[in-house]
Amino acid sequence: MFAKFSFTVRACGVAGCVAGAAAAVAGWTSAEQNNHVMLASSAYMAQQITPNISLDSSAGDMRHRMEGLILRTQKDLCDALSKIDGKEFRVDRWLRPNEGGGGISCVLQDGKVFEKAGVNISVVKGVLPPEAVKQMRARGHSALKEGESLPFFACGVSSVIHPRNPFVPTLHFNYRYFEVISDNQRIWWFGGGTDLTPYYLDETDAKHFHSTLEKACRPHNPSFYQRFKKTCDNYFVIKFRGERRGVGGIFFDDMDQPSADACYQFVDSCAKSVIPSYIPIVKRHYRDPYTDRHRQWQLLRRGRYVEFNLVYDRGTKFGFNTPGARIESILMSLPLEARWEYMHEPEPNSPEGKMMAVLKNPRDWI
């Protein structure tokens, strides 16, 4: 079963680790169970979640095609980040023994270049409570039957990269596929996006980032970039402060047109644009000299990042309300350190103030 993988065995060392229980489900050997082993493969960061399926990208069940896409995206990004940092990712493969499915959480913490970088994938099945169905209906999925619990499948890749140097922006992206079964019908959609959170404004970076995304969007629909750029600006808002968390990017949800294959191709382009949109920015700035002033500002903005993720982020909230969700994977998005100073307000003409101006009034970058 594991013949094509070369394994790295890691001790989990965590009381709540589900690897033991999960191993039974996955059919691992008992020696591996006893060691709470974590597995890493050469093709992916760990063994795929759904056993015995082909992860061919070109055809077949969309669930399997997407599992392949998210595994490849995770592997490519982890490799790219490790190469820059010099430190390897910790890999935790976990399964949900009762609810079905699982995931692979890859975290590089306290590296030279990356203070905390998380790249997760998950492939989960479960039952949506009527309240969640109601919210999805309100977003336009009117084919979902009201007032009932409905079986769902979801898989996605989700990542937040918090670099150490305050001149390297934080990156977030997430690409996902969702299915709900209602009246024996399969209702499906894709969602996702990539967005950048700089601490200091570098217009060259912002332009490079946005134009890479625009190029990924263009072949699929000439209006996508502009539409999803606007959606992104409107989504990543800390409403009670009247400010965005960064310079945006693209964000879309509930995409089910014109066909599943076309949507998949679009998501594939987006996922493939992550590395070229971000890695050149990291390389340009990770050796920039900085002082305690820059670090303090970065920590304050990381506090804002925490505010957005805990108060507004839909994925995080969905995780909080999902029984058996792996909370450490959900909250790997939080920075290693953050700071809150009462009534901190940068001078309008300072570099920090110039960043704030863009967070209050988003700009066009192309």
Residues with catalytic function: 172
Q: CB-wise, 91 or 180, nearer to a second copy?
A: 91
Chain positions 311 to 340 lying near a second copy, rule: CB under 8 A, are 311, 319-320, 325, 327-328, 331-332, 334-340
Question: Rounded to whole angstroms, how far apart are CA atoms 176 and 188?
Answer: 11
Contact between 239 and a second copy by CB under 8 A: the answer reads: yes
Q: How far is the CB of 304 from a second copy (least distance, A)?
A: 10
Interior angle at CA 282, CA 214 and CA 247, nearest 5: 45
Residue 61's nearest CA partner among 143, 151, 153 is 153
Phi/psi for 114 (5° steps) reads -110, 120
**359: region left, alpha or beta (phi > 0 left; psi from -120 to 50 alpha):** alpha
Q: Which of 3, 16, 259, 292 is in the footprint of a second copy by CB under 8 A? A: 16
Chain positions 97 to 116 lying near a second copy, rule: CB under 8 A, are 107, 109, 116
Q: CB-wise, 228 or 305, nearer to a second copy?
A: 305
Chain positions 71 to 90 lying near a second copy, rule: CB under 8 A, are 90
Q: How far is the CB of 243 from a second copy (least distance, A)?
A: 11
Q: How far is the CB of 116 from a second copy (least distance, A)?
A: 7
Q: How far is the CB of 56 from a second copy (least distance, A)?
A: 32
Question: Which residue has 């590089």 as its token pair?
Answer: 108
Contact between 144 and a second copy by CB under 8 A: the answer reads: no
Question: Which residue has 């509930």 as its token pair?
Answer: 254
- The 112-141 contact track toward a second copy, x by CB under 8 A, reads ----x-x-----------------------
Which residues, in sequence order, are CB contacts of 343 under 8 Å at separation 6+?
Answer: none
Question: Rounded to whole angstroms, how far apart are CA atoms 128 and 150?
Answer: 5
Residue 141, token pair as written in the block = 């999925």
Chain positions 244 to 303 lying near a second copy, rule: CB under 8 A, are 299, 303
Q: Which of 9, 14, 127, 366 is in the footprint of a second copy by CB under 8 A? A: 14
Residue 184, token pair as written in the block = 């024996």
Q: How far is the CB of 82 from a second copy (least distance, A)?
A: 16
Residue 313's nearest CA partner among 294, 291, 334 is 334
Are 234 and 244 a contacting pair, CB within 8 Å? no
Q: CB-wise, 211 or 296, nearer to a second copy?
A: 296
How far CA 267 is from CA of 39, 175, 179, 310, in Å, comes to 27, 7, 16, 26
Q: How far is the CB of 125 from a second copy (least distance, A)?
A: 20
Q: How far is the CB of 187 from a second copy (least distance, A)?
A: 27
Contact between 69 and a second copy by CB under 8 A: the answer reads: no
How far CA 187 is from CA of 101, 136, 181, in Å, comes to 19, 11, 6
Question: Which residue has 């108060």 as its token pair?
Answer: 311
The count of chain residues that interact with a second copy, using the rule CB under 8 A, is: 38
Chain positions 344 to 363 lying near a second copy, rule: CB under 8 A, are 345, 348
Question: Which residue has 């200091």 as its token pair?
Answer: 200
Round the CA-based radius of gyration of the chain to a whole number and report it: 20
Contact between 15 and a second copy by CB under 8 A: the answer reads: yes
Q: In the complex, which residues of this chain contact a second copy (CB under 8 A)?
A: 13-16, 90, 92, 107, 109, 116, 118, 239-241, 299, 303, 306-307, 310-311, 319-320, 325, 327-328, 331-332, 334-343, 345, 348
